[in-house]
């Protein structure tokens, strides 16, 4: 008998992203990955397009994935929610 692991990613909520402690942990994790600053958009788009699992909201509703080239076409669209805080 073969066991199938279901791969699921839960999208962070707006309140989680606005939480300063969550934001700093996310920033530290991203900083420690050796991806050039301008390479992040390509990495994110590749992850969305090649992911073999489910991406959902906390409510269980599927997260809609549209064309990554449209959603991730500009750094301005990726502005962090607390970018002005130090």
Tens of pLDDT along the chain (86 residues) come to 565 667 888 988 889 889 999 989 988 988 888 888 888 888 887 887 788 888 889 899 998 876 545 455 555 555 544 444 44
What pLDDT sits at residue 80?
47
What pLDDT sits at residue 77?
53
C-alpha Rg value of the chain to the nearest Å:
15
Q: Measuring CA to CA, how many Å separate 7 from each of 53, 56, 57, 61, 67?
A: 5, 11, 14, 15, 21
């Amino acid at each position: 008998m073969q066991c199938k692991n279901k791969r699921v990613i839960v999208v962070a909520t707006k309140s989680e992203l606005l939480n300063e402690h969550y934001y700093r942990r996310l920033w530290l994790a991203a900083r420690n990955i050796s991806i050039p600053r301008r390479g992040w958009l390509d990495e994110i788009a590749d992850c969305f397009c090649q992911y073999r699992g489910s991406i959902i909201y906390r409510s269980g509703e599927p997260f809609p994935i549209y064309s990554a080239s449209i959603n991730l076409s500009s750094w301005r669209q990726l502005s962090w929610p607390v970018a002005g805080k130090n």
